[in-house]
Structure 1
Amino acid sequence: MTRRSRTHQSTPSNEQAILDAALTLAVTAGYEGTTMAEVARLSGLPVGSVYWHFNNKEQLFSELIDYCFETWKADHTGPTNRDLLRRSIAGSAGGSVNPENKAEAFWILALLFALEKRLTGNLARERYLEVRKQMFELMVERVEPQIPDSVLAVDPEFGRKMVVLGRALTDGFYIAASSGDDIDFLEFADLSASAVEALIARRAAAVAADEEKQ
C-alpha cells in the first residue's frame, strides 16, 4: 500500500512514536476504540503526520502486528520445551492480563482479530492470521528437535500436535483469568510443562514397547 504524498518529515523516531502510541491505545481501548486522532495526540505528532506514515487504521495495525511479531520472535526462545511453554503461558498469557505490560498485552489483542468475525477482510486481521501461521511454524521448529526421533518416525505430526496443545493451553489460561478464575500463571505453566513432558515420555515408551514386540 502506498503512502500519501510527502507533506511531513519521515523519520524512524516518528514512526516508532506512532507505533508505540497505537500499541498503548490498543491494549486499553482495543481495535475499535483506537482512533488515528488519539494516536496522534498520544504520539505528540500532528494527525497529518500519522496519516502520512499510515494511510488508515488498518494499515497502522497491520504494521503494528509485524512490529510486535519481531519482539515475539526474540522473546519466545528457550533451550527446552518447558522453557518455551513457560514463556508462552506465564509470559504471554500471564502478561496479557496486565494492560501495563504492553508488549505482552498486544498478544491477546491480536488473538481477538482471529475471533472477531466482524473484521473479516480487515487488512490488520488478515495480517494477524498470516503472522499466527508463521508463529506456529516457528514453534514447531523449536519443539520438534526435543521429541525423540522414534516418536516422530511413528507419528511425523506429533511435534505439531504438541504445539497445538501448547497454544490451546496458553489461550485457555488467558480466557480463564479474564473470566475471573484465580490463575497463578507460573504454577500452571510448570504444571502444563510437566504434563506435556509426561505425554512425550509416555509416547516414547509406547513406541519402544511396540518395537520390542516386533
Structure 2
Amino acid sequence: MSTKEKPGPQSADREVSRIRIVRAAAEIAAESGYEATTISKVTKRSGLPASSVYWFFRDKDHLMAEVVRHSFEQWISSQPRWERDPRDERSPTEGLRAILSRSVRSLVDSPDFVRIGLMLLLETRDVEPEARQYFLATRDEVTSSIAAWFTSYFDTALRARRPELAMDLARVVLAATDGFFFSRQIHDDLDPEDVVAIVVAVVEQAMAGE
C-alpha cells in the first residue's frame, strides 16, 4: 500500500480554501491593481485567516503568481490549439480566422491573467514579480506555438528566405489581441470579429508579398 496521502475530504477542503484565496486576490487586483492587493484584503474578502493564506503561499508575490497561473490554465484549456491537422485543407487565413474568432472573443471577459500580466508589464520594479515572470513565460510559449503554426504553411524556400517571418506574424497576432483587450476597456462595443478581420487581412497581405 502506498504511503502517500490519499485524496479525501480534508485535501478537498484545502483545495476549496486555496481556490477561494486565489479568487479573492484576483477580484481585488482587478478592482484596485497589483500594489493595492494585500494579504489583509485577501483574508477579508475570502473569509479565511492569514494563517490559511500563508499555508498555501509564502507571500503576496507567490499568491499573485498563482492567480496568473490559475487564470491562464483555465483560459487556455478552452482555447483552440495552435496545431495544424495535416488533413486540414483550409488556407492559412481561413485557419487563422477560425482560431482567432474564438480566442479574441474570450478576451471580452477580461481574464485575470491578461489584466494582471499586462498591468505588471507596464510597471517597473527593482525586483521583478514572480507573476510577471510567469506571464512573460506563457507569452513566449504561446508566441512560439503560433509561429510554429504559421511555419507549417511555409514551403522550404520561404522558410530559408524569411526565417523570421513566422515569428513576426505571431507577434503581430499577439500585439493585436493586446490592443483589443486595452480597447475594450475604453470602448466596450468594439466587435471582436472586426479585429479578427483586420488581423487576417494584415497576415494575408504579408504572406502574399512572399
Q: Does 1:58 align with 2:61?
A: yes
Question: What code does the residue aligned with 2:149 have?
Answer: R
CA-to-aligned-CA distance 1:176-208 (integer Å, 9 cap, x gap): 3434586222222233223323432x13xx4xx
Question: What code does the residue aligned with 1:137 have?
Answer: S
Contact 1:90 1:189 in 2 (8 A): no
Q: Does 1:37 align with 2:52?
A: no
Compared CA separation, residues 88 and 144, structure 1 to 2 (3 A): farther
Q: Does 1:199 align with 2:201?
A: no
Q: Does 1:128 align with 2:135?
A: yes
TM normalised by structure 2 equals: 0.75
Aligned equivalents of 1:143, 1:84: Cα separation in 2: 12
Count of matched residue pairs:
187
Aligned equivalents of 2:156, 2:98: Cα separation in 1: 21
Q: Does 1:152 align with 2:159?
A: yes
- Gaps spanning 5+ residues in structure 2: where? 1-9, 85-94
Aligned equivalents of 1:143, 1:18: Cα separation in 2: 39
Contact 2:120 2:132 in 1 (8 A): yes
Q: Does 1:83 align with 2:98?
A: yes
What is the DSSP-based 3-state SS (H/G/I as helix, E as strand, rest coil) of the residue aligned with 1:32?
coil
Aligned equivalents of 1:12, 1:19: Cα separation in 2: 11
Compared CA separation, residues 120 and 140, structure 1 to 2 (3 A): farther
- Residue 83 of structure 1 deviates from its aligned partner by 2.6
- Gaps spanning 5+ residues in structure 1: where? 1-8, 97-103, 207-214
- Residue 154 of structure 1 deviates from its aligned partner by 2.2
TM normalised by structure 1 equals: 0.74
CA-to-aligned-CA distance 1:31-70 (integer Å, 9 cap, x gap): 1121212222222322210122112110101122222232
Contact 1:113 1:128 in 2 (8 A): no
Aligned equivalents of 1:49, 1:168: Cα separation in 2: 39
> Pairwise CA RMSD of aligned residues?
2.6
- Residue 113 of structure 1 deviates from its aligned partner by 1.1
Q: Does 1:172 align with 2:179?
A: yes
CA-to-aligned-CA distance 1:71-103 (integer Å, 9 cap, x gap): 2332332562223333343322x332xxxxxxx
Aligned equivalents of 1:142, 1:39: Cα separation in 2: 40
Question: What code does the residue aligned with 1:134 have?
Answer: E
Higher helix content, 1 or 2: 1
